[in-house]
Amino acid sequence: MNKIKSVIIIILILGFSSCDDDFLDVTPSNSGDASTSIQTLADANVMLTGIMSRMTSSSYYGRNFIIYADAKGGDLTTFSMGRGLDGLYSFNHSPTSGSYSGFWNSIYYSILQANNLIVNIEKLEAEGAEANFDDIKGQALTARALMYFDLVRIYGKPYSYDKESYGVPNVLEPLDALAQPLRATVADNYNQIITDLKDAQPLLSKSKNNGYLNYYANLALQARVYLNMEQYPDALNAAQEIIDSEVYSLYSNSEWVDSWTGQFGSESIFELAVLPSEADLGNSSLSVYLRRAGHQSSSAIGQFIASDYYLNRLGEDPDDVRFGVLSYDEVSPTHLGASYKYSGDTSLSGDGKSTATAVNIKVIRLSEIYLIAAEAAFHTDKELAADYLNEIRKRAPNLAPATAGTISIDMILDEKSKELFTEGQRFFDMLRLDKDITFNDDLGGVPISTRDKTIDRSFYKTILPISQEEINANPEIGSQQNPGY
């Protein structure tokens, strides 16, 4: 009995209730018939809220997934090993040690919640339910697409590199007790992701819904996914629909720094709420992991700081407004490597809640959509690409605007690094665009024996192994282990 299936059965037997998940206090009858789990629109809303809350766990958007992409992508470094999650930076992975199986377990747990919600809504619809479940079903489908997109990028090779290699199991409904789901291909995963997003799109509201997904969040995910698939016209169309709707607006230079001290700002297309009483990770939060060592807490030990490569990139214009969320670190009083996006600001103001560690996670911002539009347009209309890029490039007021003659993919990629630093993007961009990644190991004199100083996407540890505990539970998946492990 494999772990994915085991988690489903536990969820069904316990009605989604546990010490961590009492917000899902519903009681499905059994693994074959979960019809009693959702009877009303209120039941469905409770389950949807539970999915969103679970996505802020430390093994997902609450911390590890964000650090994963920046530490592995070269924008972060560490001054000293042994401070927590340094295996992500050093690529110290094996099936039995440093597998970071929390990604697999946590994300699949939430996928199984989404599956149960979708299946039960469809059953009620087939029975002629009077309530309109469209928006909730659309959100569940969109959330499932996002989670599979994140999983396949962690465990599978980039679509543009080898789409026929193994991705992750496509589990779309509650499983039979004897089921043994195996890995699909990367292409199959992406096809399912697009199917979910397209199925969800007409069901979703276009109204803003703080802490939840809407029509435009779905389009934003489509833009992300199509960009990874190198389907540039589709990526551009999705991005342009969001931009042209004017439902969201870019922060001005004077607003950008303060935007981190507020919730659900004008750029937030999808933002996960972090509440002090529920999802606040406290001393284990992104706030503490990324701030300066010793800043207002002995638990702040400076796990990760900006690499010199990132700071040099940002320092092309000393007046770049994005310096405003950085502060000095233990390297020196002038080394601005401590990130305070998840503390509100450099004085730990938070985003309006009682603690500076309960700061919402901005999963998708309008800035990213402009940068997706710039990259997608680059392949057919460089002037249009420059126009989109310049809307973000003006965060650095002294840099010359891009033109059709000067714009390049590297310029767009650099701008994306500057804008989305510590937002969980860099590594995935470097892999899909086949860029070398060089690490700032010498900043703290950190010896690394588990990877070279510079790697590319052919390095087998750029994707995580299937953990031994998963193989023990589902032996057949062992034959689908990622090469090199």
pLDDT digits (tens, 9 = 90+) for 341-375: 999 999 999 999 999 999 999 999 999 999 999 99
- Tell me the average confidence (pLDDT) per consecutive run of 10 residues in the chain, 485 residues long: 43 34 30 57 96 97 97 95 92 97 96 95 94 98 98 98 98 79 97 98 97 98 98 98 98 98 98 93 96 93 95 98 97 96 97 96 98 98 98 98 98 98 98 98 90 98 97 95 97
φ, ψ for residue 320, nearest 5 deg: -55, 125
167 part of a folded domain: yes
Looking at the structure, do residues 36 and 134 belong to the same domain, yes or no?
yes
Q: Are residues 311 and 433 in the same domain?
A: no
Q: Are residue 162 and residue 52 in the same domain, yes or no?
A: yes
Identify the domain boundary among 338, 359, 380. 359
Residues 11 and 153 in one domain: yes
How many folded domains does the chain comprise? 2
SS3 432: helix
In-domain check, residue 68: yes
Shared domain for 151 and 297, answered yes or no, is: no
Q: Domain range for residue 92? A: 3-204+421-480
Q: 65 is written with which tokens?
A: 């997934």
Task: Give the pLDDT score at 277.
Answer: 86
pLDDT for the residue 14: 30
In a domain, 246, yes or no: no
- Separation between Cα atoms, residue 137 and residue 203, nearest integer Å: 7
In this structure, is residue 298 part of a structural domain?
A: yes
The CATH number given to whatever domain includes residue 8 is: 1.25.40.390
**Dist CA 302 CA 337 (whole Å):** 10
**Residues facing 361 on adjacent strands:** 272
- 218 neighbors 348 (Cβ within 8 angstroms): no
Q: Tell me the whole-structure pTM to 2 decimals.
A: 0.92
Give the closest residue to 53 by CA, choosing from 18, 21, 26, 27. Answer: 21
Neighbours of 96 (CB within 10 A): 11
Beta strands in 6-158 (DSSP E): 76-77
Q: Last residue of some domain: 332, 359, 386? A: 359
The pLDDT of residue 10: 36
DSSP track, 258-291:
GGGGSSS-TTEEEEE---TTTT--GGGSHHHHHS
Whether 196 and 52 map to the same domain: the answer is yes
Do 305 and 187 share a structural domain?
no
- Same domain for 151 and 28, yes or no, is yes
Do 189 and 334 belong together in one domain? no
Q: Residue 299 has which token pair?
A: 């638990």
| Angle, CA of 382, 387 and 392, to the nearest 5° | 120
Task: Quote the CA–CA distance of 404 and 383 in Å, as a whole number.
Answer: 4
Q: Is the dihedral of CA 67, 68, 71, 74 positive or negative?
A: negative
Domain boundary among 308, 342, 359: 359
In a domain, 376, yes or no: no
353 backbone dihedrals φ, ψ, rounded to 5°: -105, -175
Q: C-alpha angle with apex 415: 411 to 420, nearest 5 degrees?
A: 150
How far does the chain reach from its first CA to its final CA, in angstroms?
A: 23
**Predicted pLDDT of residue 177:** 63
Domain contains 404:
no
Same domain, 51 and 122: yes
Is residue 225 situated within a structural domain? Answer: no
Q: Are residues 166 and 303 in the same domain?
A: no
> Residue 84: what pLDDT?
87
The answer to whether position 392 is within a domain reads no
Q: Quick one: 136 and 13 in the same domain? A: yes
3-state secondary structure of 271: strand
